[in-house]
């Protein structure tokens, strides 16, 4: 009689492991492949990724952001500049309404984060800014809207 109980226990353990693996953070997309996607396809992928990240734990979301940051840092300066140029062109091709919608979605995602997660994101942004040259920081500051 112990054998069927043992089998059920193994089956339940395997099911829990599979469920936990399915809940893990989504794989980080390749930045260059992402840039080649059409805006519509990017929106679909972004929504799918966001749903998966919403279901992930804060640690899994942090690991996702860290992996994405590492991939971006591994790009050569020329590749990064090309990626920035493509992204800027796509952003400028959006209507004002689409830009505002994207900004509101981003704002809502940040507000939905736990306070600790927001602090970590802010620290990561500050660390990124500290690695920029003074010229790059000045150029970035010029692009920010006045409050």
CA distance 88 to 79: 14
CA dihedral in degrees (117, 119, 30, 137; nearest 10)?
170
pLDDT in tens, 79-130: 888 888 888 888 888 899 988 988 898 898 889 888 998 998 899 888 888 8
Query: Within a 13 Å sphere around the CA of 139, how many CA atoms are in the beta-carbon half?
Result: 5
Higher-confidence position of 135 and 122: 122
The two tokens of residue 80 are 């990064």
Task: Count the helix, strand and coil residues of the chain and give each as a percent rounded to the nearest 5.
Answer: 85, 0, 15
Round to whole Å and give the CA distance between 105 and 94. 15
Exposed (0-12), middle (13-18) or buried (19+): which is 49, by Cβ within 10 Å? middle
Over residues 26-41, the pLDDT tens digits come to 899 888 888 888 777 8
Coil/strand/helix, residue 30: coil
Give pLDDT tens digits for 31-70.
Answer: 888 888 877 788 789 889 988 988 888 889 889 988 988 8
Q: What is the pLDDT of residue 23?
A: 54
Predicted pLDDT of residue 60: 92
**What's residue 145's pLDDT?**
66
Half-sphere exposure of 65 (CA within 13 A, CB side): 18
CA dihedral 125, 88, 49, 103 (to 10 degrees): 70
Answer yes or no: is pLDDT of 18 > 70. no
């Amino acid at each position: 009689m112990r054998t069927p109980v043992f089998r059920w226990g193994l089956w339940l353990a395997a099911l829990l492991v599979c469920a936990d693996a399915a809940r893990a953070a989504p794989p980080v997309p390749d930045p260059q492949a992402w840039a080649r996607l059409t805006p519509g396809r990017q929106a679909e992928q972004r929504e799918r990724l966001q749903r998966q990240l919403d279901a992930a734990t804060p640690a899994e979301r942090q690991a996702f952001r860290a992996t994405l940051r590492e991939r971006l840092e591994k790009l050569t300066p020329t590749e990064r500049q090309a990626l920035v140029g493509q992204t800027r062109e796509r952003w400028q091709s959006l209507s004002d309404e689409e830009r505002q919608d994207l900004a509101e979605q981003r704002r809502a995602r940040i507000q939905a984060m736990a306070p600790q997660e927001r602090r970590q994101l802010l620290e990561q942004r500050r660390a990124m800014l500290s690695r920029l040259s003074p010229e790059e920081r000045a150029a970035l500051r010029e692009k920010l809207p006045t409050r």
